[in-house]
Amino acid sequence: MLITGDSLGESTMKNVLVVDDSATMRRMVMSSLRGIEQTAYLEAANGLEAIEKLAINPVALVLLDLNMPDMHGMEVVAFIRKHATFRELPIIVLTTRGDDDSRTAALAAGATLYLTKPFDPAALAANARRLLFGDAH
């Protein structure tokens, strides 16, 4: 499902892939990011679906839960970082795991940013905007 954040043409859009096994959490994340212009949102309910979406859609940012069925979020991070096409793709891990070991492991595996749930919608949007557009936007 592709959900756009504004009415600009698709060619100007940056796709954000939101990966979480909870449909409610995916909606909350996308709602928090709605104010970011020139974005469209793709959803995946698990790691395997996320990899499928990456294979067929240009994606500019991934927001990724760790605890999911089929394929753990850390496996998704490892997959993304193994492929040259995706090596520079920003990944925000958004998880309930607030322990230092999980944070350290995710960042060492290649996550760009590690945030915990419950999250601050304004902070999530600011971080996503920075990763999508840099400081100039």
Q: What is the pLDDT of residues 13-32, one digit of tens each?
A: 899 999 999 999 999 999 99
Position 79 pLDDT exceeds 80: yes
Domain range for 30: 2-133
How many domains would you assign to the chain?
A: 1
Average the pLDDT over 63-81 and give the result: 94
pLDDT given for residue 12 in this prediction? 78
Pairing of strands 39-44, 14-19: parallel
Confidence band of 34 (pLDDT split at 50, 70, 90): very high
Q: What is the pTM of this model?
A: 0.89
CATH of residue 8: 3.40.50.2300
Residue 56, pLDDT > 90, answer: yes
User: In this prediction, what percent of the chain has a pLDDT beyond 90?
Assistant: 85
